[in-house]
Structure formats: C-alpha cells, structure tokens
C-alpha cells in the first residue's frame, strides 16, 4: 500500500489489510484505499472486487457520492447481472437508497 497510513482510521486500515489478505492487486486496493471513503464504503468496494466483478462495473459505485447503503443496492444489481443500462438507472447519486431500491425491485420484477 503506497498510501500514508496516518490518513486512515483503524477501521479503514482493516479494510485495506483484508483486501491484501484476500489477494487483491495493488490496482484493486487503490480503488478503495482512499481516505474519502468510510470503512463501510471501502468494504462494499472490496467485496465487489473479491467477488471478481469487472473493475468497470465496480467503478459505477466506487464513488464517494454514494453512501454505503446506495453502494449495496448497486452491488445487488451487479450480482443480479443487470444490464449496464439497468445498473446506470440505479447508480444515480441524486437518488436516496430507498428510491434506488424501488427501481431495483421494479427491474427485478420485469426480469
């Protein structure tokens, strides 16, 4: 990890160490090892990477504009193999998590 560890809280450092322990590459760790992400946001990004989802998809929610609950719903859409257009309709930082969930549910029902 090339980051200055003093920039991170202990719980953020735990997420970085878990990423290293689980074999993520330096590039993958760099995606979430950012001080502007809290530990829950870091966990959501780390988990998606550990599941092997493409970095392009992870980058749809690896954005500090999204709270951890919003990231979780976007991750569900990725796990459910939603299309890029469907995921993009959910991955909107202007939506609250409950609004994102409604859209997620509507898309799920149509599938």
Residues of the chain with pLDDT under 50: 1
Nearest to 89 by CA among 62, 67, 108, 69: 108
Cα–Cα dist 10/25, whole Å: 21
Report residue 9: phi and psi, to 5°: -75, 165
Q: What is the pLDDT of residue 4?
A: 63
User: What token pair was written down for 96?
Assistant: 């609250």
Q: What is the pLDDT of residue 3?
A: 55
Q: What is the pLDDT of residue 109?
A: 96
Cα–Cα dist 32/43, whole Å: 8
Q: What is the pLDDT of residue 14?
A: 97
Q: What are the angstrom distances between the C-alpha of 17 and each of 22, 30, 40, 57, 70? A: 9, 12, 14, 23, 24
Residue for token digits 């309709």?
89
The model carries a pTM of 0.91
| 80-94 tens-digit pLDDT | 999 999 999 999 999
* Eight-class DSSP state of 93: T
Q: What is the pLDDT of residue 6?
A: 79
């Amino acid at each position: 990890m090339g980051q200055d560890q003093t920039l991170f809280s202990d719980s953020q450092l735990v997420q970085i160490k878990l990423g290293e322990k689980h074999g993520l590459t330096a590039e993958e760790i760099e995606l979430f090892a950012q001080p502007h992400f809290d530990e829950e946001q870091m966990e959501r990004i780390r988990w998606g990477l550990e599941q092997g989802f493409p970095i392009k998809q992870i980058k749809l929610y690896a954005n500090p504009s999204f709270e951890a609950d919003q990231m979780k719903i976007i991750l569900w859409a990725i796990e459910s193999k939603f299309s890029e257009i469907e995921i993009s309709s959910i991955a909107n930082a202007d939506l609250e998590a409950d609004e994102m969930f409604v859209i997620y549910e509507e898309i799920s029902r149509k599938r």
